[in-house]
Amino acid sequence: MNARARPGPAATPVHRVALVSGANRGLGFEVAHQLSATGMTVLLGARDLDKGLIAARRLVGAAGEVVAVQLDVTRQEQVDTLARWVDITYGRLDVLVNNAGGYYDHDADASGNDLAAAQAAMDTHLYGSWRLTSAMLPLMRRHRYGRIVNVSSRCGASSSSGPHCVAYRASKAALNSYTRTLADELDGTGITVNAVCPGWVATDLGGPGGRPVERGAEGIVWAVSLPSPAPTGRFFQDGQAIDW
Ligand code: NDP
């Protein structure tokens, strides 16, 4: 047999570790569920650890381990503690889903001055995602691999208009801008950064009438699972690119 035709030693499959923020309920929980079914280790972020533990218990028996972790994305010390713990425990983070959110100020007008709602939306959607991403990036850079998915909304697209939800719209538009800027910076590093709109989904935030949470989560898991070389700096819904 030609020595060069011999198969080499089988590459050890990489065991991937994912972190999902706001995963004790809604879309985040379902994303954790679908990712754990692929065999990944999933860190289920919850700002109330008890709620996280209860949610993680519902996923016992999944192909991948699910571990509840305390995570309020507005609290720098929690984010830093979690990053250190992930480093010590796993030495890597392959997937980050910035899902934590809310603050759907449905009846708020842009002419009003509810800056508390605006501040809360920005704290979670923009600064929370930014804070968590920069804390976790060293764990992705180490292995030259990462999939960062920012859960956004078509409400934040520049083509989207309407007189209400001003805090929500502005904060998701800012998240979109952050997504594109970070994607440009990380281009060529093996770490991709994309935004995903899950569509209108029947969660506590979305209310009744939206599509099933499983369907909304699938588009997020699709973006997480893109094989290399994967697109970066894009905005997707249901696996299709949409306009910023
Ligand atoms: P839910 O209200 O069902 O869940 C929101 C989750 O985010 C909860 O786990 C909540 O935790 C958590 N959360 C809120 N603030 C923080 C924080 N500061 N730190 C950590 N976790 C936090 O919402 P959805 O599942 O519907 O929404 C998930 C994402 O999808 C959001 O970013 C939302 O904007 C986006 N989205 C949703 C749409 C929809 O139709 N549902 C449409 C488009 C986008 P707790 O339980 O403690 O409150």
Model pTM score: 0.95
User: Mean pLDDT over residues 133-139, rounded?
Assistant: 98
> Cα(101) to centroid of ligand 1, in Å?
4
Task: Quote the ligand 1 centre to 1 CA distance (angstroms).
Answer: 58
28 CB less than 6 Å from ligand 1? yes
What pLDDT is stored for residue 7 in this prediction? 64
Determine which residue's CA is closest to atom 5 belonging to ligand 1. 101
At 193, is the secondary structure helix, strand, or coil? strand
Whether ligand 1 lies within 6 angstroms of the CB of 27 is answered as yes
Residue 142 has a pLDDT of 97
Any ligand 1 atom below 6 A from CB of 204: yes
Which atom of ligand 1 lies nearest, measured to the CA of 204? 3
Q: Is 145 annotated in the active site?
A: no
Provide the 10 A C-beta neighbour count for residue 237: 18
pLDDT band of 178, cuts 50, 70, 90: very high
Candidate list 103, 127, 145, 168, residue with the active-site label: 168
What letters, b where the CB count within 10 A reaches 16 and e where it falls short, cover 54-93?
Answer: ebbeebeebebbbbbbbbbbeeeebbeebbeebeeebebb
**127 pLDDT higher than 60:** yes
Per-residue pLDDT tens over the stretch 222-237: 999 999 999 999 999 9
pLDDT recorded at residue 93: 98
- Give the pLDDT of residue 57: 98
Q: Average per-residue pLDDT in the chain?
A: 94
Residue 74 has pLDDT above 70, yes or no: yes
Quick one: pLDDT band at residue 6, thresholds 50, 70, 90? low
pLDDT band at 3 (very low <50, low <70, confident <90, very high): very low
